[in-house]
Structure 1
Amino acid sequence: MQINLSGHHVEVTSSLREYVDTKFSKLERHFDHINNVHVVLTVEKLNQKAEANVHMNGSEVFASAVNTDMYASIDTLVDKLDRQILKYKAKVSHH
């Protein structure tokens, strides 16, 4: 799984990149047909926003999360994506 990480009005530090990598490895444990992930981290005044677009075989999943802390918004984002990917996995395996 390839992770493209970019920042908008925020510098992407190595610790932030490591945190994103470890959190998104959780998604790969649940569903291994993920091709690449595009993550955008944005700062808007007091809000820290994280968005991700996950490209899988035959589908694409998008989620975003807003919080006052960037790490908390990444956690929320990964939880949302995890639920969507598990739903997609159940749908594909059911057919």
Structure 2
Amino acid sequence: MQINLTGHHVEVTDSLRDYVNSKFARLERHFDNITNVHVVLTLEKLQQVAEAKMHLSGGEIFANAQHDDMYAAIDGLIDKLDRQIIKHKEKLKQK
């Protein structure tokens, strides 16, 4: 899995990069056919926003999350992606 991490009005530090990589490793346990992920971290006024577009075999998943803290926004993003991946995996099993 290839992770592209960009920041919009946010400097992407090594600690943020390591945190995102460790969280996306959790998603890879559920579904190993993830080809690449594009993560955008944005600062909008007082809200920290994390967005991700994930390319899978058989589809594409998008999610975003907002919070006052960037790490909490990333956690919310991972939770949303996790639910969507499990739903996508169940659809593939039904076919």
TM-score (norm 1): 0.99
Displacement of 1:94 after TM fit? 1.2
- Matched residue, 1:17: 17
CA distance in 1, matches of 2:29, 2:3: 15
Q: Which amino acid aligns with 2:32?
A: D
Equivalences for 1:1-95 in 2 at 5 Å?
1-95=1-95
- Name the count of aligned residue pairs: 95
**Structure 2 gaps, min length 5:** none
Deviations 1:47-86 (A, max 9, x none): 0000000000120000000000000000000000000000
3-state secondary structure, aligned to 1:7: strand
- Aligned-residue RMSD, C-alpha: 0.4
Letter in 1 for 2:74: I
Runs of at least 4 residues of structure 1 off by over 4 A?
none
Secondary structure of the equivalent of 1:12? Answer: coil
Aligned partners of 1:5 and 1:15: how far apart in 2? 12
Tell me how far 1:93 sits from its aligned partner.
0.9
| Cα distance in structure 1, aligned partners of 2:54 and 2:83 | 13
